[in-house]
Amino acid sequence: MKASEKREEENAEFQSTVADQRATQVILKKALKRMEQFYKKKALLQEAQAPPVQFKPMKKSSGASPVLSMLEQIIEESIGVENEAVAGEKSAQADYETFVKDSNNLIKELSTSITEKTKSKAGAESEKVSAETEKLAAENELVSLSEYKADLHEQCDFILKNFDVRQKARLQEQEAIQEAKGILSGSK
């Protein structure tokens, strides 16, 4: 936007400069024509007044030459300023068009980059949510396994604590069964 505003200001200045130079040229050309007419009439009048016997080479009026030369020089300078302004305007316009093209390409690239990064961020956030869900599930499973371990440990402790008592009771039970078998086999 700033470049566009600056370009508009430069173009307005160019338009003003060219208009001023062209107006100057029109005015000076009219003045030059008028001066040439005046000095030609003056020269013709001087020739008409001169006796026919004297033949001098015909020259422009000595008073006219510097004035006409100065007007012609000013017109040439004005044309030069106008040409420089036109060349500068073409160059500035070409630079502006290049700048706008480069800016548009950069904006397009940055927009594409933003879109890609937004997609990447959305994917990363999705993965983060998935990882957090998996972590929560793993923590819940760890709590459940920890409780199961505690229950098993308690059962194992009970079994180990009472192993000797239970083994003794089983041995007594086996002996009782053997006696019962012996009694039952002898009673037949």
Handedness of CA 41, 46, 47, 52 (dihedral sign): positive
- 93 CB contacts (<8 Å, ≥6 apart)? 7, 11
C-alpha to C-alpha distance for 180 and 174, rounded to whole angstroms = 10
- Spans of all domains in the chain: 2-133, 137-186
Q: So what's the pLDDT on residue 50? A: 52
* CA angle centred on 82, ends 78 and 84, rounded to 5°: 115
Query: What DSSP string describes 149-171?
Result: HHHHHHHHHHHHHTHHHHHHHHH
Q: Please check whether residue 58 is in contact with residue 47, taking contact to mean a CB–CB distance below 8 angstroms.
A: yes
Percent of the chain with pLDDT over 90: 40
- Mean of pLDDT values over 59-88: 81
Q: What is the model's pTM?
A: 0.49
**48 — pLDDT class (breaks 50, 70, 90):** low
Contact 39, 60 (CB under 8 A): yes
pLDDT exceeds 70 at position 84? yes
Q: Which residue has the tokens 């009439």?
A: 41
Residue 18: enclosing H or E segment and its boundaries? helix 2-49
Residue 55 has pLDDT above 80, yes or no: no
Encode pLDDT of 94-146 as tens digits: 988 898 899 999 999 999 999 999 999 999 999 999 999 999 999 999 999 99
For the stretch 170-186, pLDDT in tens is: 999 999 999 888 888 87
pLDDT (mean) for 83-89: 90
Handedness of CA 81, 84, 89, 95 (dihedral sign): negative
Instruction: Give the 3-state secondary structure of residue 113.
Output: helix
Tell me what percent of the residues of the chain surpass a pLDDT of 70: 87
pLDDT, tens only, 139-164: 999 999 999 999 988 888 888 888 88
pLDDT value at position 8? Answer: 87
